[in-house]
Amino acid sequence: MKKIIVILLSATLLIGCSKEKTEEIIEMPNGNIENEIELVEEIDEVEFNQEIMGGSLKGLLSNPSDGTETVGLIVPETALVDKDGYGNGYIMLAKELNDNHIACLRYDQRGVGESSNIEVDEKMGRDEYVNDVVGYIEKLREEGGFKNIYLIGHGEGSLIAGLAADKIGVEGVISLGGNGENINEVFSFLRGISEVLLIQGTNDSEVSVDEAKALDSVNPDSKLVIIEDMGHALKNAASPENSQEHKGSYIDESLPLNEELVKEIILFMK
């Protein structure tokens, strides 16, 4: 059954709505998932670059100490944020994945961060960005030996991740604040992917909950999780109406990732 899950940080219940508009209450297990998460303080990363026309995409691959066959590839927002993420959010996510025996690859898009030497043509479409992701998937399989690859797209990176998954098979696609406005375009890849997790924050100033629901509607097998108070930077944020305080969530490195976001991603990839 199709479910839309709304997470209230002050509550212990998840409210699910099926495509048939029926409703059911899903009670969380008494156990705390955090008890199953072994946290570590440090993360080891190695360079994992990809040679493309015009230069080298700079990436960092982190592996849990005991090794793994599962990896999450973070596809960042095009030309907006580097491989560290807003307020080091991608670094935090990589650590959380490693803590849970999942590897993580984060990289700089063309023209961004350490990949800034790669020229970006203003007329360039999405194909090049999609091909970059496909190239990294192949590299993770051939050189990294990973069997279970998940794409974690953020913002416009969600669309890039989905289009890449449509070209080359992956275990699943996770969309964080993905823009569902171009519904006709996303329909072609989402309906063909069996494992899709959509996560949307209610305090996201760039993508609305309605857009997330529209994106969810094109795939009967996708799961939509709506998280109260989370902003586009994947951290708790003030209401967008409080502009100055809201913007702080993008740059404040002391703010942790939203806990429910982390739990949902890990549960999906386990």
Per residue in 101-149, pLDDT tens? 999 999 999 989 899 888 887 777 889 999 999 999 999 999 999 999 9
**pLDDT at residue number 2:** 56
Which pLDDT value is given to residue 213? 92
Position 8 pLDDT exceeds 60? no
223 near 196, Cβ under 8 Å? yes
pLDDT in tens, 227-255: 999 999 999 999 988 887 788 899 999 99
State the pLDDT at residue 39.
37
- Give the rounded percent of residues in the chain with a pLDDT score beyond 70: 82
Token pair recorded at residue 101: 């025996």
Q: Within 13 A of 31's CA, how many CA atoms are on the CB side?
A: 5
Helix (H, G, I), strand (E, B) or coil at 6: strand
Q: What is the chain's alpha carbon radius of gyration, rounded to the nearest angstrom?
A: 18
Backbone angles phi, psi at 166, to 5 degrees: -70, -25
* pLDDT in the model for residue 184: 65
Mean residue pLDDT of the chain comes to: 84
Shortest CA distance to 104 belongs to which of 142, 146, 67, 62?
A: 62
Question: To the nearest whole percent, how much of the chain has pLDDT over 90?
Answer: 60
First CA to last CA across the chain, in angstroms? 20
With residue 260 as reference, give the H or E element that holds it.
helix 259-269
Residue with tokens 């199953």: 36
The reported pLDDT for the residue numbered 6 is: 54
The architecture in CATH of the region 47-256 reads: 3-Layer(aba) Sandwich (3.40)
- pLDDT number for residue 111: 87
Residue 80 pLDDT greater than 90, yes or no: no
Domain ranges within the chain, ordered by starting residue: 47-256
Q: How much is the pTM?
A: 0.84
Query: Which pLDDT value is given to residue 36?
Result: 37
pLDDT reading at 219 higher than 90: no
